[in-house]
Structures are given as C-alpha cells and as structure tokens.
Structure 1
Amino acid sequence: MKTLSFGLKFTASALALGLAAPANADTLRLLTWGGYAPENVIEMFEAETGHTVEVTTSNNEEMIAKLRATGGGGFDLAQPSQDRIAGPQEEFGIYKPMDLSKIDAALFIPSMLEATKANTTVSGEVYGVPHVWGTDGLVLNTAEAASIKDYTDLCSDEVAGKVSYRMRRPTLIGFAFSMGMDPFEAYADEAAYTEMLSKVEETLIACKPNVKTYWSGGDELMGLVRSGEVVAAMAWDTGGWKLNEDNADVTFVAPASGALGWIDTFVIPAKGQADDAAYAWINFVMKPEVAAMITESAGNFTASQGADEFVSDALKARYQASFPQEAVDNIKWYPPVPAGLEALEGAVLDRVQAAR
C-alpha cells in the first residue's frame, strides 16, 4: 500500500519523540502502512485478546531506517514489503526468524504464503509472511481491445496509437515474462540479465508507434482511459477497478504470463518484546471477515484465503473477474533486486525513451 495516513494511536511521548512508546507485556507496537490497521479492527482485536495496540504508520524506507537505528528495537511487529527483508536482514540483522508453528497457515492463500516464505528466507530461516498485496497487469477497454491477453499484445495493430505504459522497471519485467523469459531467474546472472534486457529493449523500441504516451502518474492514466485516448495500458489492479466504476467495459485483466505482484508482509523485529501479541494480531487480521475490513480500509486485497467473499459485492465481483484462482497462482512476485541491476535497467529505459 503506497498511501500514508497518520495519527491512529500514538502516546504523547511517542508523538514528542517521533518514536514508539515503551512496551508492556500486553501492548503490541505495530509499524505499518496507512489503512492496514483501521480503528474498528483494533477495537475488535483488543476486545477479543486483551492486548492493546499502538500504531505507527510509515513506509518501506522509514521502516528500515527506524529498525536499523535501534538494531530491531522499538516495535513488536512491522510490515515492510517482501523485497525489503532478506537484504536488510543479511546486512543489519533487524528481524527475528518467524515461528511458523504460531501462524495459522490455513488462513493464507497457499501460493502467496509459499512465495513470501521463499523470498524472505535467509540462511534457512523464514523472516516474513504475507499480508496486503497488489499487482501490475493490463487495464483494458474490453469493448475495443478484446484480443489483448498479455503485455506484448500491447504492440498489436488492434490498439495502435492507443496504448500507454510507464518507462519503469515493471514494464521491462512484464515484457520479459511475456516474451517467454524469466527475469527473476536471471537476477543471479548479470550477463544473462543484460542479454534479456537487450531483447526487451528491442521489442519496446519497435512498439513505440503503438504508444500514445508513457504515463507517469495515476491521474494522467485515468484521464487517458476515461477519454478513450487509451484503450489498453499496463497499470495496477486498483486503478482498473476504479475505472470500472465509471465504465463497465474497462477493467483490470491479469496477463497470460502473470500479473506482477508486490506483497507487504509481517515481520518480527529483532528486539520486539511482545511476540505473543504479534502472532495473535497476525492470525486475527488474517481471518477472512477481518481481512475484508482491511481491504475496505486500504483499498488492496490481503493474502487471507476467502476474504473476497466478505468485501462489498461490487469490489468482490471486480476482484473475482480479474483474479480467478489460476490467475492468483500465476502472479509473479517481486523478489529482492540484486545490487547493480537497477542501473542496467535505467540505461535501457533511457535508450527506449530516446529512440525514434
């Protein structure tokens, strides 16, 4: 979730110092994103468990900075994205291994749980489990772009001049998968990754005549789709569902090669003092009916198995149309990015942008 809101349940001392308040045995100090711990969920949890919850809202960079500054202290549960776990753990040792025996695995969508466990494993220990997620894929006007099934279809004659996507790394990754390559597998081999990028660069340059414009902001893209100037785009799921509210022909479609997924996780900071409360919170908010409340608050779905049945009928219908089970299982989850690859990607994006 990439939107911040502040001021849920800080104490006076936390506000004064910019830090979480000292813990007691029954207090869960939660470091999370805006919308992930709504007041109605906190009240239910406190009533059911007897634990109290103090929330600090943040983002990935600030979460890592806070935990690094304290050696993993100050909080009992944090929610960085899954690609911000293995690297910081290897470098700074700011998390504890998860005690998976305390996690109710049946509450999680299996493919998401397994992907997150794999992407957050360090030296044989799992450091994260999934919570809120979202994807990049295709936003289509299905009445005018019915044949578009994958990222490279954006280069087809049917949508010539009416396509938009960002000049950002998700475009490189998505096109690579659509071209039959596995960029995440190539992460471990810089030469192989460079060769892959060269093929994607060639395709994106050839595709330029199809592109109305490269969008840079969500409002810009929404306007282009609403006006009909763009009928096929690479964009995020919640944007497609928002457009669907205005035009039933427009929606998010998971590409045949797989939507590209981010996951915000649960991790236990290394010096957390309330592990029992942390695990209780994880299992509580992953209950389908509670997870649905978080979806309504945050705008994104969670890794809770069956939670889509409890959200509003309109949102449930959009989600289920975009993500049948096979599409969920086919999501390509972003792993940590090795050092140096983003510089290679940036050079490719610059060359594509400049090509005529």
Structure 2
Amino acid sequence: MRKNLFGDVLKGSHMNRRAALRALASVGIGVATIPLLPRLGAAADPVSVYTWSGYDDPRLCADYVKKHGGPPNFSFFGDTSEALNKLQAGYKVDVAHPCADDMTRWVGTGAVRPIDESRLEHFGEFWPELKNLPGTVSEDGKQRFFVPFDWGNSSIVYRTDKVEVKEPSWRILYDDDRYKGQVAMYDSGPPAVEIAGAILGAKDIFNMTDAEIADATKLLRRQREQVKFYWSDNSTIEQGLSSGELVAAYAWNDSVRRLTKQGVPVAYMDPKEGMRTWVCGLVLPKNGGNEDLAYDFINAFTSAETGAVMLDEFGTGHVNQKSFGMVSKETLDSLGLDDPTAMMKRTVFLRAVNIDREQKYNEVFNTVKAGG
C-alpha cells in the first residue's frame, strides 16, 4: 500500500477517495476507523446522508449547518453498487450520493423517490447540460430522480515541454510510437476498451458489438506495448510526470490541478474523440423520512459557495454555474474548465453499460494485460 493512501482518503479528490476506499477495504480498514475532520456540534435532528468519504467537510454544507446548528449525520460507502444493495436491504437514509451512470439501475429497482424541482433553490443556476442526463429523469420528462452535484473529466495530462501535440487524440496513449514507454493508462477495463472504440469509430462505445470489441482488442495490444505501466493510484502518474519519467497519462482534473500548483509544465488535452465526463449527484432514497431536512441539505450542497470550494479545494466541477465566477481563471485553467459550455458540447458523458458488455470489456482488457 502506498504511503500517501491515507492522505488520499482524507483530503484527496472525488476519484482518489473512491479508489482509496476500495484499497482500504481490501485490507480490512473501514472509514469509521479514520478521523476525517473535527466534529462540530450536533444538530437536534440531523439529516442522514449516505455518501463517499470526504464529503462530510462542513464547508460543503455551510448553509445547512448555519440553519440547523450542526452538520448532517454522514455515513459512507465504497462504491455505488454497495450503496444500492444496502438501501435495498432496508438501510434508512434521507439523501444518497450515486452517479448519473448508476441511475438506470437505481430507478429501475425502485430505490429512489422523485425530486420536487420547486424545492430546489438553485435549480435555475444549474448547468443546463447536467439537468437531464440519461436515466436521471423519466422517459416522459415529468419526473426527476437525481440532482446533479459534482462532476469532472477524464482525459490526458501531458508535459508541454516534452510532447508536441500535432492533433489532440487519445492515440497518444495507444499507438503513438514517439512516446513509447513514457505514457501510463488507468488500470480499468471499460475506459480502456471504450476509448479504443472511440478512436476506431465504434457506433456506441457503451454497447459495442463483438466485431467492434475485436477491433478494439487489437488496439489494446498496441497500447500494452506503449505504456510504461497501468495505474490504480493516481499519485504514481503525478510523480512520474513531475520527474519526467512520464510525458503523458490518463488522468482526472485534480491531478492537473496539483501538478500545476507544483510548477510542473502540464496541460490537459481536449482529444478529438472527446473527454470523458462523470457526473454524481443527490437522490432521495425511498425509505428516507426527513424530507424537509433533505432539501435543506441538497440546497446547501448545490449553492454557488459550495461550488467554489469544490473547484478550489477538491479540484472538481460543480453543478452551479455561478461558482465558476467565484474562483480565479488560473484555477479553472488548471482544471481544464475555462470554458465548460464548449467542453460539455464535445465531451462524452459516461452512462450505464449493460452488464454483459461490461464483463466483456473487463475480460478483454485483463486478457490483453496478461499478454493475450
């Protein structure tokens, strides 16, 4: 286990914490054993929030704390499948924090209740592109089940002093021989296969045909010969890029932010095949009870002030457009979010992958990694 793993859990980014939690769980360490932040005075009857570790930072719900005299009652999950299973087994919470690409399953299992848009104080300030993602509203558009909150990108961070970008493309991590042995890829099947599919022009990268997967597999074999390593802890790519061992890597916004703060000459690529954008948000579990408190919490989490903290401290995007005007241009530039509207027109929003296809993607990726 890397020495900085616990630091990632305590203060890392959205995706750092999720990967770290899985690693901690693998050695029998639960979030309850980790002191995250100083405890504030308790509210008389706090809302219960089921989320990822690290989102209990009181700065993210300052309006709720001010109104109710204390923070929510937080509990944590390691991944959204675990969270859904626990809710279906009867776990009672007022608010949960899944992601948009989970929502087809969450809605389909009846785990969540519709959202009353009239109670969302900041709804008019939300990025329009995030309001109606697939699976988050009913097919007729009359019921909303998901309030977008945090979002971010996956793309290529590269050393501007070592890489010449002739045409921005994911190919730099797959078959660009100029940088053989100097690039790194995220150690996960679906992203690797989907990006290969995008490079090759697959019709739907989230539901590729067997023939398209076969073509993608050939490109994955080329990638295996190109990469220095596949990473699961993003501090390894940050160290590699800082030292010059790596010149490019699959990365999230927050890595770009940290490297920029360190003075490393890096940029975040906008590939012609599209960045990959995740969106997570808030839902009302079917068995929740404190609806008034739940909406107070949702409104606090989606305020512009909270968004400024997310951008400046957590290194991720926020649903409230106004928050982007509350941080410096340098911060937005370092996150690759200087023009979110233009970026979201070109990006690929992640969505659910059929279980059969997901298994196939993982099988192909693992076989290629093993030398097959």
Q: Which of the five TM-score ranges fits, normalised by the shorter chain? A: 0.7 to 0.9
Partners of 2:93 and 2:357 in 1: CA distance: 32
Q: 2:48 pairs with 23, 29, 35, which one? A: 29
Q: Cα 1:222–1:319, aligned 2, differ >3 Å: closer, same or farther?
A: closer
The yes-or-no answer on 1:338 pairing with 2:354 is yes
Once the two structures are TM-superposed, the CA of residue 205 in structure 1 deviates from its matched residue by 1.9
Is the Cα contact below 8 Å between 1:41 and 1:290 reproduced in 2? Answer: yes
Deviation string, structure 1 residues 295-331 (Cα, Å, up to 9, x no partner): 4454422222132332366433312566553113322
Name 1:162's counterpart in structure 2.
182
Per-residue CA shift, 1:333-353, capped at 9, x if unaligned?
221221211221122113322
Distance 1:289 1:43 in 2: 9
Change (3 A) 1:323 1:158: farther
* Structure 2 match to 1:101: 118
Distance 1:284 1:219, change over 3 A: closer
Verify the 8 A CA contact 1:79 1:265 in the aligned structure 2. yes
Structure 1 residue aligned with 2:161 = 143
Number of the residue aligned with 2:104: 86
1: distance between equivalents of 2:63 and 2:289? Answer: 22
Unmatched tracts of structure 2, length 5 or more = 1-13, 22-30
Deviations 1:204-229 (A, max 9, x none): 22344432333343232223222222
Contact 2:60 2:309 in 1 (8 A): yes
Cα deviation, residue 111, structure 1: 0.9
1:90 positional shift: 1.8
Q: Cα deviation per residue 1:212-270 (whole Å; 9 max; x = unaligned)?
A: 33334323222322222221222222122222222442132232222112222110011
**TM-superposition CA deviations, 1:70-125 (whole Å, max 9, x none):** 1xx5211111122223213323x22102222333432211112222xx23245654
Q: Once the 2 structures are TM-superposed, how far is the Cα of residue 137 of structure 1 from its aligned partner?
A: 0.7
Specify the SS of the correspondent of 2:131: helix
Q: Which amino acid aligns with 1:342?
A: E
Secondary structure of residue in 1 paired with 2:49: strand
* One-letter amino acid matched to 1:232: A
Tell me how far 1:165 sits from its aligned partner: 1.0
Task: Identify the residue that residue 298 of structure 2 maps to in structure 1.
Answer: 282
Give the alignment of 1:1-356 within 5 angstroms: 1-2=14-15, 3=17, 27-48=46-67, 53-59=72-78, 60-70=80-90, 74-91=92-109, 93-103=110-120, 104-115=122-133, 118-121=134-137, 124=140, 125-147=143-165, 149-154=168-173, 155-168=175-188, 169-184=190-205, 187=207, 192-311=208-327, 314-320=330-336, 324-355=340-371
Structure 1's 102 and 224: CA in aligned 2 closer, same or farther, altered over 3 A? Answer: same
Shift of 1:36: 2.5
- Equivalent residue number for residue 14 of structure 1: none
Q: Label 1:52 to 1:207 Cα distance change in 2 as closer, same or farther (>3 A).
A: closer
Gap change, CA 1:248 and 1:288, over 3 Å in 2: same
Counterpart residue type for residue 251 of structure 1: A
The number of aligned residues is: 336
Could you say if the C-alpha distance between residues 258 and 34 of structure 1 is closer, same or farther in structure 2, counting changes exceeding 3 Å? Answer: same
- Which whole-Å CA distance do the structure 2 matches of 1:203 and 1:41 have between them? 42
CA separation of 1:83 and 1:194: change in aligned 2, threshold 3 A = same
Q: Is the 8 A contact 1:36 1:294 kept in 2?
A: no
SS of match in other structure, 2:150: strand
Conserved? CA contact 2:153–2:277, under 8 Å: yes
Distance change in 2, residues 1:320/1:338 (3 Å): closer
Task: Please say if residues 221 and 368 of structure 2, whose CA atoms lie closer than 8 Å, have aligned partners that are also in contact.
Answer: yes
In the superposition, the TM-score normalised over structure 2's length comes to 0.78
Q: Aligned partners of 1:204 and 1:337: how far apart in 2?
A: 19
- Give 3-state SS (helix, strand or coil) of 1:265's partner: strand
Secondary structure of 2:241's aligned partner = helix
* Counterpart position of 1:16: none
Distance 1:105 1:257, change over 3 A: farther
Residue matched to 2:9: none
In 2, are the aligned partners of 1:9 and 1:53 still within 8 Å (CA)?
no
Contact 1:261–1:332 (CA under 8 A) maintained in structure 2: yes
C-alpha distance in 1 between matches for 2:315 and 2:289 = 31
Once residues 52 and 204 of structure 1 are traced to their aligned partners in structure 2, the CA distance between those partners, rounded to angstroms, is: 47
Letter in 2 for 1:57: F
What percentage of residue pairs aligned between the two structures are identical? 23
Shift of the alpha carbon at 1:181?
2.4
Mean CA deviation greater in 235-244 or 122-131: 122-131
